[in-house]
A and B are shown apart, each in its own frame.
Chain A
Amino acid sequence: MLFKISLSNIRKSIKDYAVYFFTLIIGVAVFYVFNAIETQTAFMAVTEDKREIIDVLTKAISAVSVFVAIVLGLLIVYASRFLMKRRNKEFALYMMLGMSKWRISALLLCETVIIGVGSLVVGLLIGVGLSQVMSAVVANLFEADMTNYKFMVSNASIVKTILYFGIMYIVVMLRSGFVISKCRLITLMNSGKRSEKIAMKNPWVCMIVFLLSAAVLGYAYYMVGWNQADLDEEKIVIAIAMGAVSTFFIFWSVAGMLLRVVMSAKGVYHHGLNSFTFRQISSKVNTTVASMTVICLMLFLTICTLSTAFVIRNSMNSQVEEYFPVDFCMEAENQDDNNDPLYTDIDDCFGDDKESLYNLMGDHHKFHIYTDADLTFVKSLGDKYEELKKEIPEVGWLEYRLRMVKLSDYNALMKLFGRKSIDLAENEYAVCATYNTIVNVYNKLLPKNNEITAFGNTLVPKYKKCIDSFVCPTGMADSFDTIIVPDSVINESGAGGEIIVGNYKASDKKGIESAEKALKEIWQKKMYGRESSIRGMHCLDTRQEAADNAIGVSALVTFLGLYIGFVFLVSCGAILALKELSESADSIPRYTMLRKLGVEESEITKSVFRQSGIFFLLPLLLACLHAYFGMRLGKFVLDMLVSGSFIKPMFFTAAVVVLIYGGYFLLTFLGSKAIVKEQK
């Protein structure tokens, strides 16, 4: 009997439940798909490096899953509480008929079980289907072989999904049981009589609050957008707190002001259904200031997460090509007790393996790095130090011996890299770097004709700008400054570490792979053995490694970004949709009356569209504004990691947001339209 009642209850309120159910299904499916990546990728034949990256990815996803579960759990609790409130009258009727609170709780339990099991089954089915697509995406990303592919179901992920969602549903059941046991019949019965009081806020108070919060928000924007150098963790937290609080008050005051503004334009306000539409919107915004704030902040986080992820992904993929134009780069540098460089002969390090090593190499160039104890970063700035420190605060943290290369070495390298060579007169020098901050320092310094003294020779800059280049490829735009000086200036006593940069002899994929393996073996054997006896540093970077790394990092950020973004967007959409749909259901009598007054159906549809549109647009607009300034900070932080434009990533982000958030908007609009449609 209970089961029958609950089933018919669900069927009856299907319009209210549809969005909730739909969201649960998406939640379950997304949760399964991301947690199934581990199983889905287990079969793939990939290199050891990539396997490691995949392991990191799955570990990260399972850590983020806990966070995602908390967000989804809060959403489910919120939604169920919301749906329960709408049924207070029904519960009151049961109680009046003499049903005990236990029975009502049991009824609710029954409903939650039906919905829970239903959403889990449907969600998992969809999830299993989608995860096959996901496999293909992952395989493509990691260039894995798909020939062994077969349809796969991840039992571990199913168990995990059921466990996590089971806990959420149990929390919901306990909560609703608790609420029912505490409620009183009289409050339930009166709950239907909504107080239709329209609290018009004092417009002046609204105006002042609005201006105040706009000012606070502006200051927070300034802190993260322009004054980044001054930021520490504490200040970032303060800026975020300021942003959150002012967001709340902006919604609070806009709810009051929006209507006033529209009302003052009499021609607009008393045109068609405008007065009705704006009243509806303002009462909705008025009662949902808190949720609007949460939604706005979540959207902000989503936009930032997604665009950061896409920015990193985008630049990772293009950077390797640009910043690792050769196959390998090996460097060895012996150091004294102060970590200052000593003369190093890299060939010495290889000993009897030298021959086999050189046999692997094709075009290559070997060269020394020179340093002069009297030529350090700070000394080279001379009297401009204080001035530069004010403009670029990072200058204060930097101090090291400037690394110099001979002009002939530099030009040989550029030939190898396929970049432009340069000419220098006997008293000239040039600087190359790719790390943005350093580039900025030199772009400010060089136009002032800054003189440096290397090995007793005074040199003037040839170019007014820092050359966008490097001598040691890393795969990223993170190379510090290297000073290029004429060969005659160099004093051999300044020679320090030695570097070999070049390509393998082999040029086909297989040959490169085996050459790389052999190279690494020798490197490992010789260099790690050396470590204990000689003080110094050594490193080997290869293009293959850089590329794998880039794929790994971009896969990691893309997956995590999409995972979090997806869940956040779905949560935001679901909350707004629930609110809007229930509001429409409550407003049915109003629409019936409008029809009696002879309002056209198209006008009513237009009004419904505007209501849902503005309701969805308000938090998104503010979130976009937040995101714009947030991303200024993001750009600053990511400076070292990425290069390239933010336009394409923003476009991708917008596409994801429009797809999911827009989807919920469309669902809401169509749902509302159906709800307010004339009942015949």
Chain B
Amino acid sequence: MSLLKLEHVEKYYGNKSSLTKAVNDISFSVDKGEFTAIMGASGSGKTTLLNCISTIDRVTAGSIVLGDTDITKLKGKELNKFRREKLGFIFQDFNLMDTLTAYENIALALSIQKCSAKDIDKAVKNVAEQLGITEVLGKYPYQMSGGQKQRVASARAIVTDPSLVLADEPTGALDSKSAKMLLERFNYLNHEKDATIIMVTHDSFTASYASRVIFIKDGKIFNEINRGGDSRKQFFDKIIDVVTLLGGDMSDAL
């Protein structure tokens, strides 16, 4: 059953004389419980696409339907409510409040939904355990490593139990060990908690943790591969093949 459905989404920048088609007629759908990676070189339009899905940006044409609401039609308060309740964000640069502790950062996502303090405490401790950050809950962002920060950010994204988790280059600022640890947590959330995740990345290794990879080039879908029964290693090789096919553009992103 498809949870997210994009139909002929287009996003143009600029004016008539110099038009940039950042997203040019993209359609695909994501099922509930799927872990999708979107790959592409810098400038291919993958982040723009994610921003459109996350309602941070508006589409020029086309529709994006999550569950049974067309999110391109939402406005003002509905938009805020939608972001609050249906989406979880993970950013490349963590975007944690530097003035708050890890606990408070995670709790903030719940408190703006007006949850009671008791429920908040339970939910935060629960999610912290799943992501292995229980011991850093009392620390401030500047006291944590990059990997810990990103896991706190992930905890904040999923603590509200969103329909869709959106991750923009989540491993971009992490060393390989932390990246691996984070992605294993994503897998855990995906398998055990049935979380639907869309992740934008240009890194093949990161993408190989997903169950499905969509390749984007010049604002269009170039290819799509499914993991099926492959092991992660096999899936990684397949991704490399496509990247090679994509040409020199992506080679620098390996």
Which residues of A are in contact with B by a Cβ distance under 8 Å?
195-198, 266-267, 269-276, 279-280, 283, 589-590, 593-601, 603
Give CA–CA (A38, B112) in the complex, Å.
60
> Closest Cβ of chain B: how far from A201's Cβ, in Å?
15
Q: Assess whether B145 is interfacial by the CB under 8 Å rule.
A: no
Give CA–CA (A601, B56) in the complex, Å.
15
CB pair A279–B108 under 8 Å, yes or no, is no
CB pair B108–A276 under 8 Å, yes or no, is yes
7 tightest CB-CB pairs across the interface, nearest first?
A598-B84, A598-B83, A266-B117, A279-B99, A196-B98, A270-B111, A267-B117
> Closest Cβ of chain B: how far from A405's Cβ, in Å?
76
Q: Assess whether B140 is interfacial by the CB under 8 Å rule.
A: yes
Give CA–CA (A68, B100) in the complex, Å.
42
> Closest Cβ of chain A: how far from B153's Cβ, in Å?
10
For the A-B complex with A273-B108, A283-B99 known, give 20 more contacts whose Cβ atoms are closer than 8 Å: A196-B142, A266-B117, A267-B116, A271-B117, A272-B111, A273-B111, A275-B104, A593-B95, A595-B80, A596-B54, A596-B56, A596-B95, A597-B84, A597-B89, A597-B109, A597-B112, A598-B81, A598-B112, A599-B80, A599-B112
- Which of B81, B83, B85, B108 is most buried by chain A, counting CB atoms within 10 A of its CB? B108
Residues of B contacting A195 with CB < 8 Å? 142
Given contacts A197-B142, A266-B117, A598-B81, whether A593 and B111 have CB atoms under 8 Å apart is no
Residues of A contacting B111 with CB < 8 Å? 270-275
Selected contact of A271 from candidates B85, B87, B114, B141, CB within 8 Å:
B114
Residues of A contacting B117 with CB < 8 Å? 266-267, 269-271
Residues of A contacting B84 with CB < 8 Å? 597-599
Give CA–CA (A139, B115) in the complex, Å.
64
Give CA–CA (A331, B77) in the complex, Å.
83
> Closest Cβ of chain B: how far from A640's Cβ, in Å?
54
Given contacts A275-B108, A597-B89, whether A198 and B99 have CB atoms under 8 Å apart is yes
CB pair A590–B97 under 8 Å, yes or no, is yes
> Closest Cβ of chain B: how far from A669's Cβ, in Å?
20
> Closest Cβ of chain B: how far from A598's Cβ, in Å?
3
B79, closest chain A residue (CB): A598
A266, closest chain B residue (CB): B117
Q: Assess whether B239 is interfacial by the CB under 8 Å rule.
A: no
Residues of A contacting B116 with CB < 8 Å? 267
Residues of A contacting B83 with CB < 8 Å? 596-598
CB pair B97–A593 under 8 Å, yes or no, is yes
B103-132 vs A, CB cutoff 8 Å, 1 = contact: the mask equals 010011111101111001100000000000
Residues of B contacting A269 with CB < 8 Å? 117
Q: Could you give 25 example pairs across A and B, Cβ below 8 Å? A: A196-B98, A196-B140, A198-B99, A266-B121, A270-B111, A270-B117, A273-B112, A275-B100, A275-B108, A276-B108, A279-B100, A279-B104, A589-B95, A590-B98, A590-B99, A593-B95, A595-B80, A596-B56, A596-B83, A597-B108, A598-B83, A598-B85, A598-B112, A600-B80, A603-B112
Residues of B contacting A273 with CB < 8 Å? 108, 111-112
Selected contact of B97 from candidates A270, A276, A598, CB within 8 Å:
A276
Give CA–CA (A599, B80) in the complex, Å.
6
CB pair B100–A272 under 8 Å, yes or no, is no
A197, closest chain B residue (CB): B142
> Closest Cβ of chain A: how far from B172's Cβ, in Å?
17
Give CA–CA (A600, B83) in the complex, Å.
10
A195, closest chain B residue (CB): B142
Which residues of B are in contact with A by a Cβ distance under 8 Å?
54, 56, 77, 79-85, 87, 89, 95, 97-100, 104, 107-112, 114-117, 120-121, 140-142
Residues of A contacting B81 with CB < 8 Å? 598
> Closest Cβ of chain B: how far from A196's Cβ, in Å?
4
CB pair A196–B56 under 8 Å, yes or no, is no
CB pair B99–A598 under 8 Å, yes or no, is no
> Closest Cβ of chain A: how far from B108's Cβ, in Å?
6
> Closest Cβ of chain A: how far from B138's Cβ, in Å?
10
Residues of A contacting B87 with CB < 8 Å? 598
CB pair A270–B107 under 8 Å, yes or no, is yes
A587, closest chain B residue (CB): B99
Residues of A contacting B100 with CB < 8 Å? 275-276, 279
> Closest Cβ of chain A: how far from B105's Cβ, in Å?
9
Give CA–CA (A595, B99) in the complex, Å.
17
Residues of B contacting A266 with CB < 8 Å? 117, 121
A600, closest chain B residue (CB): B80
- Which of A197, A273, A275 is most buried by chain B, counting CB atoms within 10 A of its CB? A275
Residues of A contacting B54 with CB < 8 Å? 596
Residues of B contacting A603 with CB < 8 Å? 112
Residues of B contacting A283 with CB < 8 Å? 99
> Closest Cβ of chain A: how far from B67's Cβ, in Å?
16
Give CA–CA (A304, B192) in the complex, Å.
68
Give CA–CA (A274, B110) in the complex, Å.
12
Give CA–CA (A276, B109) in the complex, Å.
11
> Closest Cβ of chain A: how far from B165's Cβ, in Å?
13
Residues of A contacting B79 with CB < 8 Å? 598
Residues of A contacting B80 with CB < 8 Å? 595, 598-601
Residues of B contacting A267 with CB < 8 Å? 116-117
> Closest Cβ of chain A: how far from B53's Cβ, in Å?
13
A279, closest chain B residue (CB): B99
CB pair B56–A270 under 8 Å, yes or no, is no
Give CA–CA (A279, B89) in the complex, Å.
23
CB pair A598–B82 under 8 Å, yes or no, is yes
B119, closest chain A residue (CB): A270
Give CA–CA (A208, B84) in the complex, Å.
42
- Which of B77, B80, B120, B140 is most buried by chain A, counting CB atoms within 10 A of its CB? B80
B141, closest chain A residue (CB): A196
Residues of A contacting B110 with CB < 8 Å? 270
Give CA–CA (A279, B103) in the complex, Å.
13
Give CA–CA (A272, B54) in the complex, Å.
22
B140, closest chain A residue (CB): A198
Give CA–CA (A41, B142) in the complex, Å.
64
> Closest Cβ of chain A: how far from B117's Cβ, in Å?
4
> Closest Cβ of chain B: how far from A520's Cβ, in Å?
73
Give CA–CA (A197, B139) in the complex, Å.
11
Give CA–CA (A198, B142) in the complex, Å.
9
Give CA–CA (A508, B236) in the complex, Å.
111
Give CA–CA (A274, B99) in the complex, Å.
13
> Closest Cβ of chain A: how far from B14's Cβ, in Å?
16
Give CA–CA (A270, B99) in the complex, Å.
15
> Closest Cβ of chain B: how far from A131's Cβ, in Å?
48
B112, closest chain A residue (CB): A599
